[in-house]
Structure 1
């Protein structure tokens, strides 16, 4: 093994994909607090690739990640057909126009046309609809495990059950205490998700203002045949007040909540779920039944809802890979390639404006 020593803190899809990209030309160790990688946000993702999802910077990342997800990264595609149907009630028309602005590949249709695709919709409640046929399912486990295999094939290692307890500059590099061991590195990549500001604090650095937000979901049966349900696209409010996605012949339904919480193992709030199911029920003509189970995950944002990716200007060798919000899985290949380029002296594939929008230098920090 040769090249710089790099320790990646965080074993979600961000850290594992970055580790795979870096391991081509560096000595890489990924540290994960949990017993297995992908336990928190990655393992609880809605698992969708929607090209028009997010702000302008995120849409650039979505487009950049597409070829990798389609097979360029692992030699096989991790995508499958799905589609996304965004619905607007009379009071949501402004949100629909905002969503459509700057988008590509959207098809406008009437409520009745939408009901031909998802027959449980209440057409009298729907004012307008846009369909993104190219939205696709992501096989998140295949992507995560494929990146992990790739990293190991390139000589990288994963340490699980290894929470970082100390992190400090040591001469020209870094000294990291984790899982009862001491590691040294030339570069530390902070891919700790909801805990990224806490990792920065261990290094004596000010935060970037990361706020973990809970996103909840339930799995519920509907009376339609499972085969029919499985062909439906994701469908939901264009104002992001609820959405539903087929899952094994049932529907995964989310209230699209974004309640700020402390970093930790997220659990759903029953009242939040009830309110979301009520919003869902107003737009569909099916009886609500008791969900088979519920869960929650964390989506971590900074104020501008754009990821934080780049070297910290206050500490040489401390690299941020955080703030991916709800876009982390679908942008992972693009951000992993960017991380490798910036850490190893390569040429980023992204334009200068996008790099500036992602850089931690955009924050006013002490």
Structure 2
């Protein structure tokens, strides 16, 4: 039996980032059920950093992550993970309350400016008269970020076990006995970073689930030769009906902003959702859609209050939740990993997390 200090279940951005922070101080094993780490939600991201995205519960983590993504330690990565993009939030007559709520909610937190949307997106249909610019939005190089964390984890001595599913775990004394398809492990601390599988993993460990629900999100890549520039902003409907962003010359990544409850699985797009996405896109801009080049879906996993779940389980010792990141796990990864590592080690919060309240994300909020 392999003996280690910490076992992390899940090798996506959550498990990889937390593992990289912990492996400097402890022996850590990451269990990843797939043959490739980051196969599910991490590998299917639309890849942007936007401070308002996810609401007020997520914004402090996103904001704290910005400088860490823009200026990483040279030993971690040799350049920024971010590149310019900007977001244009758009609405029609009747969406004024949504616009005003966005401006009010993030006043003093995120720089938002009312603009004429027609002047920013050539081809925008005339009924889209409301515009709010969030200039700070950036694209994220997700693959580079995930690989940088895995590289840091391995350099610190961490062990990544691929095709290693957790089958069951039992608390024995002050340790866990963890059964996997590749054999058994013993550890002092078990971390649940299993994304869409977070609640099933908890049940397999004899821990009460906290109500994390996977929601399917559909994305399509369109070929749109009439798109005027690949440098246009991310365009996001104030009513949450769609968003799209250029992905190189003449190509767009588009989603209908769907959230369809799902069992944990290898998510696949439904034709109806793809058709709905294209219809909403054509209602927003007059760019001709020449082809649907790719389509995919991912599972975004939310707790009931849509805030992440970071912290020790309220009832079972030695079980740490690091899940429920919704669609925001990548843009919040640096801050979340620092927060999780500090909680696990019992350290003071790092200066980089000065605006983050750890209690906001504690699992104990579901047992109160």
- For normalisation by structure 2, the TM-score amounts to 0.93
Distance verdict in 2 for CA 1:353–1:287, change over 3 Å: closer
Paired residues, what number? 357
C-alpha deviation, 1:53, in angstroms: 1.5
CA distance in 2, matches of 1:246, 1:271: 23
Cα deviation code 1:289-324 (max 9, x no counterpart): 330121000100011100000000111110000100
Local SS of the residue matching 1:101: helix
Match in the other structure for 2:312? 311
C-alpha deviation, 1:352, in angstroms: 9.6
Q: Is the 8 A contact 1:18 1:339 kept in 2?
A: yes
Local SS of the residue matching 2:6: strand
1:354 aligns with 2:357: yes
C-alpha deviation, 1:283, in angstroms: 1.4
Match in the other structure for 2:327? 326
CA distance in 1, matches of 2:133, 2:343: 37
Match in the other structure for 2:86? 83
CA distance in 1, matches of 2:49, 2:294: 24
CA distance in 1, matches of 2:4, 2:341: 12
Unaligned runs of 5+ in 1: none
Distance verdict in 2 for CA 1:164–1:4, change over 3 Å: closer
Match in the other structure for 1:212? 214
Local SS of the residue matching 1:216: strand
Match in the other structure for 2:285? 284
**Where does 1:106-185 land on structure 2 (aligned, <5 Å)?**
106-114=112-120, 118-122=121-125, 124-185=126-187
Q: Is the 8 A contact 2:85 2:138 kept in 1?
A: yes
Match in the other structure for 2:10? 10
C-alpha deviation, 1:40, in angstroms: 0.2
Match in the other structure for 2:36? 36
Q: Is the 8 A contact 1:216 1:295 kept in 2?
A: yes
Alignment root-mean-square deviation, CA: 1.7
Match in the other structure for 1:198? 200
Match in the other structure for 1:224? 226
CA distance in 1, matches of 2:82, 2:181: 35
C-alpha deviation, 1:48, in angstroms: 0.3
Q: Is the 8 A contact 2:302 2:326 kept in 1?
A: yes
Match in the other structure for 1:252? 253
Distance verdict in 2 for CA 1:351–1:358, change over 3 Å: farther
Cα deviation code 1:5-40 (max 9, x no counterpart): 011000000000000000111111101000011000
Match in the other structure for 2:98? 95
- Runs ≥4 in structure 1, deviation > 6 angstroms? none
Distance verdict in 2 for CA 1:284–1:219, change over 3 Å: same
Q: Is the 8 A contact 1:57 1:354 kept in 2?
A: no
Distance verdict in 2 for CA 1:289–1:353, change over 3 Å: closer
C-alpha deviation, 1:205, in angstroms: 1.3
Unaligned runs of 5+ in 2: none
Q: Is the 8 A contact 1:96 1:239 kept in 2?
A: no
C-alpha deviation, 1:71, in angstroms: 2.5
Local SS of the residue matching 2:263: coil
CA distance in 1, matches of 2:254, 2:122: 16
C-alpha deviation, 1:240, in angstroms: 1.4
C-alpha deviation, 1:108, in angstroms: 1.0
